[in-house]
Structure 1
Amino acid sequence: MEYGQLGRTGLKVSRLCLGTMNFGPTTSEEDSYTIMDRAHEVGINFFDTANVYGRQIGPGTTEQIIGRWFAKGGERREKTVIATKVYGDMGEWPNVSRLSALSIRRNAEASLKRLQTDYIDIYQAHHVDRNTPFDEFWEAMEVLRQQGKILYVGSSNFAGWHLAKAQETARRRGDLGLVSEQSHYNLLTRAPELEVLPAAEDYGLGVIPWSPLAGGLLAGILRKTDKRRSATDQMQVQLEKHRDKIEQYEAFCDELGENPANVALAWLLRQRAVVAPIIGPRTVEQLDGALRATEIDLDEKALARLDEIFPGHRTAPEDYAW
């Protein structure tokens, strides 16, 4: 496994990040343990979760599963860079969600308890809270850092201007600021190239793409549906919308002799500021299959062909003017 620096920090993380959203609702606790153990065996040290994951069973379920896995010992916690998130609804009472100082404090304490750890490596804002000023956000995060309860702060689903506003507020306060941004980015969703990636690169944030396979559309969906595996209604709508591109893409992957899912991950690993795409395996076999992505070397000709199939963006302001 290769490792990279998380943005401008000295923190080293694996080039693939283990997403845990399936743990609990889709993947049993026992199988979740097996996947996390296997991740360590192959060198993946970067795990991502959120306080709301597992909400189908109950908010906090996924963190609890990870916490019980940490409690099994064997240096599981010490070997893991754990990232979790705050923002989503954790109940119906006021101040149990979003990014007020009170919500951040309460949710951080709750996540620490569920994860059975003394500190969170990367504490991420799951979304922008338009009703909370960044000064309040940073004051709350600064207190948690001073208490040793979090080490770094990250964001998720921020626009480029949100990143700039957050970083300039942190700079004014003499704070380290954000070190990472989780963004919806893949071959089909390339809008982050307009503003988010340039902002992240300029401010020294590591980009952590979520949904790198576009909800399964880039995972060889035509082959799967041809084998009579039914797609969800929503996926079927998206497939019909992008069928021409997906057909070209899967044909090109055949030329490369590679699995479409792995080509999509390998492409992300070549993009500016990207540190580690989030993979969300439901089984150990899916995890092992994704490892191939770190070995695929897409040359300039292959990258150009992918741009032809899935046109991207020039960075601002060029995409807007000249």
Structure 2
Amino acid sequence: MKYTQLGRTGLKVSRLVLGTMNFGPQTDEPTSHHILDSALDAGLNFVDTANVYGWGENKGRTEEIIGTWFAQGGRRREKTVLATKVYASMAPEGEPWPNHDRLSALNIRRAVDASLKRLKTDYIDLYQFHHVDRRTPFEEIWQAVDVLVNQGKILYAGSSNFPGFKIAQANETAARHGRLGLVSEQCLYNLAERRAELEVIPAAQEYGLGVIPWSPLHGGLLGGAIRKAATSGRSASGRSADALANTAVRAQVQAYEDLLAKHGLEPGETALAWLLTRPGITGPIVGPRTQEQLASALRAVELDLPQEVLDGLDEVFPGPGPAPEAFAW
């Protein structure tokens, strides 16, 4: 496994991030534990989750599954760089209550304690703000983070789904108060969705944040959706089906699959490997539901894409161009 440093921190992390969103809703606990063990054995040490994963009445279930995995011992916790998130309401379904969501100091305090209990650990390596909270000033957020760091409950803070100007605002506020600020940003970024190249990734690079792309296969669209539908006889589903209903998108995805077939490359592995060539990227989040999907993701880390393929991918999925030139009229 290849490793890199998480932004401007001294933390060394694997170049793939194990996403756990499917643990609980789609992958049962024994299988989830098996995937976690296999990932750790392969050197994948960076595990990402969120307090809300499990969804609906099972919110928090994913953190619990990771907690029972840690409880098995074998230095699992010590070998893992653990990231989770705070923002969404954790109040019981149908029982909305003030201060059980967003980024108020009170909710951050409650949420981190609840996550630690579910995760069966006494600290979180990377505590991420799942979304922007326009109602809470960053001065309050950083004050709450300071308390958690001083208590030893978290080591670093990161953001998720932040626009570039909010990354700047957060870190300028932190700097004024002599604080470290954000060390990472988790954003939607893949071959089919490259808008992060305009502001988010440049802002992250300017402030020394590691970038952790989510949905690297764009909901399965970049994982060979057309080929799989043809060979299985089943139509694409979910986000892929919606996207492929658009004639222009379907033609683009077909061109992508044809390019990779010409070079003998697997679509999903190529999409991950492409992200690893991009400036400022720490590592994409992969969310395997099975051992086979994990094995495929691990192969992507070792995949060296020829320049001819990289050029072809840019032709099929052209990005917005470099900022600020891309903003010119």
TM-score clears 0.5 = yes
Aligned to 1:81: 81
3-state SS of the aligned residue for 1:288? helix
Distance (Å, rounded) in 2 between the aligned partners of 1:231 and 1:299? 29
- TM, length-normalised to structure 1: 0.98
Q: Which runs of 5+ in 2 are unaligned?
A: none
Deviation of the 1:134 alpha carbon:
0.6
Summarize deviations over 1:50-85 as a string: whole Å, max 9, x none: 000001451100000100110000000000000000
8 Å contact from structure 2 (residues 219, 239) kept in 1: no
Whole-Å separation in 1 of the counterparts to 2:158 and 2:118: 20
Letter in 2 for 1:172: R
Deviations 1:188-228 (CA, angstroms, capped at 9, x unpaired): 10000000011111110000000000000000001111121
Distance, in Å, in 1 between the alignment partners of 2:114 and 2:234 is: 40
Greater than 3 Å deviation, 4+ residue runs? none
Q: Does 1:123 align with 2:127?
A: yes
Q: AA paired with 1:231?
A: A
The 2-side partners of 1:233 and 1:79 are apart by 35
| 1:221-240 → structure 2 map (5 Å cutoff) | 221-226=225-230, 227-232=232-237, 234-240=239-245
Distance 1:192 1:53 in 2: 24
Task: Give the counterpart letter for 2:233 in structure 1.
Answer: R
Give the match for residue 256 of structure 2.
249
Contact 1:198/1:315 (<8 A) preserved: no
Checking the alignment, whether the CA contact within 8 Å between 1:25 and 1:56 is kept in structure 2 is no
In the other structure, the counterpart of 1:293 is 300
**Superposition CA RMSD, Å:** 1.0
Distance in 2 (alpha carbons) for counterparts of 1:259 and 1:46: 24
Number of positions where the alignment pairs a residue of Structure 1 with one of Structure 2? 322
Q: What are the equivalent positions in structure 2 for 1:94-133 lying under 5 Å apart?
A: 94-133=98-137
Q: Identity of aligned pairs, percent?
A: 61
Q: Using the alignment, how far apart are the partners of 1:285 and 1:215 within structure 2? A: 18
- Scaled by the length of structure 2, what TM-score is found? 0.96
Contact 1:66 1:115 in 2 (8 A): yes
Task: State the match for 1:40 in structure 2.
Answer: 40
Shift of 1:233: 5.1
CA distance in 2, matches of 1:173, 1:76: 36
What runs of 5+ residues in structure 1 fail to find an aligned partner?
none
What is the alpha-carbon distance in structure 2 between the residues aligned to residue 151 and residue 280 of structure 1? 24
How has the CA–CA distance of structure 1 residues 175 and 20 changed in structure 2, closer, same or farther, with 3 Å as cutoff? same
3-state secondary structure, aligned to 2:102? coil
Q: Deviations over 1:16-63 (max 9, x none)?
A: 000000000100000000000000110000000000000145110000
Question: Equivalent residue for 2:326?
Answer: 319
Following the alignment from structure 1 to structure 2, what is the Cα–Cα distance between the partners of residues 186 and 316?
A: 17
Give deviations 1:136-180, integer Å, cap 9, x for gaps: 111001110011100000000000000000010010010011010
Question: Are residue 199 (structure 1) and residue 198 (structure 2) matched?
Answer: no
Identify the match of residue 217 of structure 1 among 217, 221, 239. 221
Structure 2 Cα separation of the partners of residues 176 and 131 of structure 1: 22
